[in-house]
Amino acid sequence: GQNIDQPTEMTATEGAIVQINCTYQTSGFNGLFWYQQHAGEAPTFLSYNVLDGLEEKGRFSSFLSRSKGYSYLLLKELQMKDSASYLCAVTDSNYQLIWGAGTKLIIKP
Amino acid sequence: IAGITQAPTSQILAAGRRMTLRCTQDMRHNAMYWYRQDLGLGLRLIHYSNTAGTTGKGEVPDGYSVSRANTDDFPLTLASAVPSQTSVYFCATSGTGRFYEQYFGPGTRLTVT
């Protein structure tokens, strides 16, 4: 079966750095997405990786290792507004998105 | 209209009733999707449409039907609602982005009693 694993919840301090991990086992791979979802709102696109390595976009970076079936989202200089759920999703061989359950990130002052 | 709209925002529905959730986009995206999101389970695909006139089944299609008569509209119908269909429903589109990322509507919170 297809499976995506992420930690259920993480806590970090304002101004710090946090890394959210995602491991996947899917039938084929055509890219990995990270989305942010604030409570009561819709998910919004953060990043996309299809090749191994690090993609940086401001305070957020995303890393992919296809051989290990592993990705992480790195958030730097954490702000209170970063409190949200972070969803990892993989595009499989049929170009369907398989979603992880999401990681709830709690930022403390 | 700007982006993706969904209606209603929320609804309480008696079991056994028929209900249609509406989704309209003005982004001219070819592909549209219906997801349900339940606590701890993440997003699960119900039905999708790669282009107007075609539809396909996702991971959890039972009890739901869709149609795609044109590019803009993708309604989701619950023929006879059951309590297990209590969830938040998101409509999404994808099309012209560099990565074909999906864009989500604001969601419909449905409670079946």
A90 strand-pairing partners: A32, A98
Enumerate the residues of chain B whose CB falls inside 8 A of the CB of residue A51.
none
pLDDT computed for residue A74 by the predictor: 98
Among all chains, which residue has been given the structure tokens 């560099």?
B98
| pLDDT tens digits for range B31-85 | 999 999 998 888 999 999 999 999 999 999 999 999 999 999 999 999 999 999 9
On the question of pLDDT at B20 being above 80, the answer is yes
Give the span between the Cα atoms of B1 and B99, in whole angstroms: 24
Q: At A11, list the tokens.
A: 């806590």
Q: Which residues of chain B make contact with A42, given a CB cutoff of 8 A? A: 90, 104-107
Is the Cβ pair B42, A97 closer than 8 Å? no
What is the mean pLDDT of the segment spanning A79-85? 97
Task: Respond yes or no on whether the N-terminal peptide bond of residue A7 is cis (omega within 30° of 0).
Answer: no
Q: Tell me the average pLDDT across A68-75.
A: 97
Report residue B64 as tokens.
Answer: 């739901």
pLDDT band for A93, please (50, 70, 90 cuts).
Answer: confident
pLDDT of residue A94: 81
CA-CA distance, B7 to B95, in Å (whole number)? 22
C-alpha distance from residue A57 to each of A35, B11, B51 (Å): 13, 38, 32
Question: Phi then psi for A13, rounded to 5 degrees?
Answer: -105, 145
pLDDT given at position B40: 81
Query: Smallest Cβ distance to B42: which of A31, A45, A87?
Result: A87
**Is B104–A96 a contact, with Cβ atoms under 8 angstroms apart?**
no
| E-only strand ranges, B29-72 | 31-38, 42-49, 56-57, 64-66
The model's confidence at residue A19, banded by pLDDT at 50, 70 and 90, is very high
Percent of chain B with pLDDT over 90: 88
Supply the pLDDT for residue A18.
Answer: 98
Integer Cα distance of B51 and B29 in angstroms:
8
